[in-house]
Amino acid sequence: MPSLITFGPLRIEYADDTLRPRPWTEQQSSWAHELLEDAPPGPVLELCAGVGHIGLLAVLGTDRGLVCVDSSASACAYARRNVAAAGRDDVAEVRHGAMDTVLMPEERFALVIADPPWVPTDRTARFPEDPLASIDGGADGLDVARTCVEVAARHLLRDGVLLLQLGERQQVDALARELAETAELGVREVRDGAGGVLVLLGRPR
């Protein structure tokens, strides 16, 4: 049975086998929307989009295209319904599959939003109401986040940026240390949210 929640001005449908949209993530949409004011021309990519609300709210009031990617068939079905309900069929597309398999090599984006599962495996039992595949981020919670960073580095325009959601500052520090060795994308700014942290990454300037 679908459930309904409001997310900003959007009415968003979700189900028991998708993550219930978390109100605090409106902060990620707002920051993304703000970043679009100075971003190069081009579409937005949302990785681990779930039912699509964060990306949809981010591009609301803009003419940016949006590609939402998720490996859950159910989440993608709801994301398509939410795109239609928001009247954004003309600009938003939902792709079902692992994020490193559904993008064409030549596709480039001005902004990548990423909401990977970030709960360390040994803490997932604390959230019995959440689908495991939506929250389990591996031993340190960073397994899927690392893939998001790799995919973003391949598909961002030169001056594009990645806005990544993680669980806590300790994870940001660990990821920043790893990225310092690759020099592809680096951490530019971190903001705390009520239920996690938001990390802005870009290429070295």
Ligand X SMILES: C[S@@+](CC[C@H](N)C(=O)[O-])C[C@H]1O[C@@H](n2cnc3c(N)ncnc32)[C@H](O)[C@@H]1O
Contact positions vs ligand X (CB under 6 A): 19, 21, 25, 48-50, 54, 69-72, 75, 98-99, 115-117, 133-135, 144, 147
Name the minimum Å distance from CB 99 to ligand X: 4
d(CA 188, CA 152): 15
Cβ neighbours of 159 (radius 10 Å): 13
CA 100 to each of CA 64, 65, 151, 157: distance values in angstroms, whole numbers, following the listed order: 22, 20, 6, 17
Take residue 83 and report the two structure tokens written for it: 């795109």
Q: How many residues would you count in the chain? A: 205
Name the minimum Å distance from CB 205 to ligand X: 28
Nearest to ligand X of 116, 120 (CB atom): 116
Name the minimum Å distance from CB 15 to ligand X: 12
5: phi then psi, degrees, rounded to nearest 5: -140, 150
Name the minimum Å distance from CB 133 to ligand X: 5
Name the minimum Å distance from CB 11 to ligand X: 15
CA 128 to each of CA 16, 51, 121, 173: distance values in angstroms, whole numbers, following the listed order: 12, 19, 13, 28
- The angle at the Cα of 100, spanning 30 to 28, to the nearest 5 degrees, equals 10
Nearest to ligand X of 103, 110 (CB atom): 103
The separation between the first and the last C-alpha atoms of the chain, rounded to the nearest angstrom, is: 48
Q: Which residue in the shown chain puts its C-beta closest to ligand X? A: 50
Nearest to ligand X of 100, 159 (CB atom): 100
- Amino acid occupying residue 102: V
Nearest to ligand X of 12, 161 (CB atom): 12
Nearest to ligand X of 40, 60 (CB atom): 60
Nearest to ligand X of 84, 180 (CB atom): 84
Task: Judge whether 174 and 199 are in contact, CB under 8 Å.
Answer: no
Name the minimum Å distance from CB 106 to ligand X: 20
